[in-house]
């Protein structure tokens, strides 16, 4: 019971780094606003955010940006369900109906809008029955506060349960050349049930640009990439480096950058509707948005599949 269909472009801009917090490191509001401005110039006007990105900062910047724009210039996708207490560093799951109502009001206020275009549950909450928070989402939808409903980081089992009580238009899982877990179960399920898949982190937090493995850039200190520290250590470092070198060769021949190749590959995969890439400055937007106008040839797609399968085998052999 999905009702109306959501129409998505191939690319959305993700704004986690606009939060200016330990997860992505320092980021000025000026630079974030310039990034948004460039995104619209490059025909990217679907923007993904969440309250926990900088504890309201990312949403506030988008709200600020909207003051100088018509509301319909931007499609806003935000989320709910990850909370924090004032001075505590801890982020926790809370999808109790009371908290959901508070979150909706706060997001609408920060984003400077009455209606949220796509409202997504960020993570499931083990402490609240799915029926309860699905009912609340349906209530928001029926009251016209949100135009479409999504969930993120849900298993097929959790999605199936959610859909017993509420229409579902999108899911937002992690997916990239280096993280392909959704291919076996989630993708076929969504295809069968007419649910659009919007992937996140198509650049595997920037690692898939090749800049760390092929250009000797220092390991960043933000938590997102510290969490991927194994990719910066042997034996994974050499496996990733070899893979990236082979992929860059394909990108070069096709006159693409590695970032563009990773993004086009992502939204071109079977069952994927769109990819959300993060960008922290206008230059990254200009580079990544070119992915909208190019395709990867069938021959190159086969080569890429072989390279990624070889990487999977190499990783299995070290486990």
Ligand X SMILES: NC(=O)c1ccc[n+]([C@@H]2O[C@H](COP(=O)([O-])OP(=O)(O)OC[C@H]3O[C@@H](n4cnc5c(N)ncnc54)[C@H](OP(=O)(O)O)[C@@H]3O)[C@@H](O)[C@H]2O)c1
The residues binding ligand X (CB under 6 A) are 14-17, 48, 122, 152-153, 172, 200-206, 209, 211, 259, 276-280, 284, 287-288
Distances (CA, A) of 167 to 97, 189, 221: 17, 15, 40
Give the nearer residue to ligand X in terms of CB position, either 141 or 150. Answer: 150
Shortest CB 82 distance to ligand X, Å: 9
Q: Residue 200 forms beta bridges with which residues? A: 174, 276
Give the nearer residue to ligand X in terms of CB position, either 204 or 317. Answer: 204
Give the nearer residue to ligand X in terms of CB position, either 53 or 141. Answer: 53
**53 included as an active-site residue:** yes
Shortest CB 192 distance to ligand X, Å: 22
Give the nearer residue to ligand X in terms of CB position, either 279 or 296. Answer: 279
Shortest CB 19 distance to ligand X, Å: 9
Shortest CB 301 distance to ligand X, Å: 20
**Annotated catalytic residue within 53, 165, 200, 204:** 53
Q: Which residues contact 104 (CB under 8 A, 6 or more apart)?
A: 80, 116, 119, 140, 145, 146
Q: Which residues contact 173 (CB under 8 A, 6 or more apart)?
A: 152, 153, 181, 182, 186, 197, 199, 200
Shortest CB 95 distance to ligand X, Å: 14
Q: Which residues contact 156 (CB under 8 A, 6 or more apart)?
A: 185, 186, 189
C-alpha torsion sign, points 136, 141, 143, 146:
positive
Please report the DSSP string for 37-103 in residue order.
HHHHHTT--EEE--TTTTTTHHHHHHHHHHTTS-GGG-EEEEEE-EEE-TT---EEE---HHHHHHH
Give the nearer residue to ligand X in terms of CB position, either 45 or 205. Answer: 205
> Active-site positions?
53
């Amino acid at each position: 019971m999905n009702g109306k269909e959501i129409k998505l472009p191939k690319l959305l801009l993700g704004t986690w780094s606009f939060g200016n917090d330990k997860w992505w490191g320092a980021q000025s509001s000026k630079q974030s606003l310039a990034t948004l401005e460039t995104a619209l110039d490059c025909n990217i006007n679907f923007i993904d955010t969440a309250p926990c990105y900088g504890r309201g900062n990312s949403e506030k910047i988008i709200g600020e940006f909207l003051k100088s724009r018509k509301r319909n210039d931007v499609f806003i996708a935000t989320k709910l369900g990850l909370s924090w207490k004032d001075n505590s560093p801890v982020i926790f799951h809370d999808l109790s109906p009371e908290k959901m109502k508070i979150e909706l009001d706060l997001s609408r206020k920060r984003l400077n809008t009455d209606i949220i275009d796509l409202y997504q549950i960020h993570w499931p909450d083990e402490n609240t029955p799915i029926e309860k928070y699905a009912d609340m989402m349906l209530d928001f939808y029926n009251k016209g506060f949100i135009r479409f409903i999504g969930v993120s980081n849900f298993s097929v089992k959790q999605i199936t349960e959610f859909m017993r009580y509420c229409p579902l238009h999108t899911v937002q899982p992690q997916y990239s050349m280096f993280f392909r877990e959704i291919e076996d179960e989630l993708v076929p399920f969504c295809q069968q049930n007419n649910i659009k898949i919007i992937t996140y982190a198509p650049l595997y937090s920037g690692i898939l640009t090749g800049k760390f493995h092929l250009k000797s850039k220092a390991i960043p200190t933000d938590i997102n990439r510290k969490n991927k520290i194994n990719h910066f250590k042997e034996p994974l470092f050499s496996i990733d480096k070899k893979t990236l070198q082979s992929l860059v060769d394909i990108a070069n021949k096709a006159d693409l950058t590695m970032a563009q190749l990773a993004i086009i590959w992502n939204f071109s995969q079977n069952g994927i509707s769109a990819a959300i890439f993060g960008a922290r400055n206008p230059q990254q937007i200009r580079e990544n948005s070119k992915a909208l106008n190019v395709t990867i040839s069938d021959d190159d797609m086969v080569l890429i599949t072989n390279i990624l399968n070889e990487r999977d085998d190499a990783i299995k052999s070290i486990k």
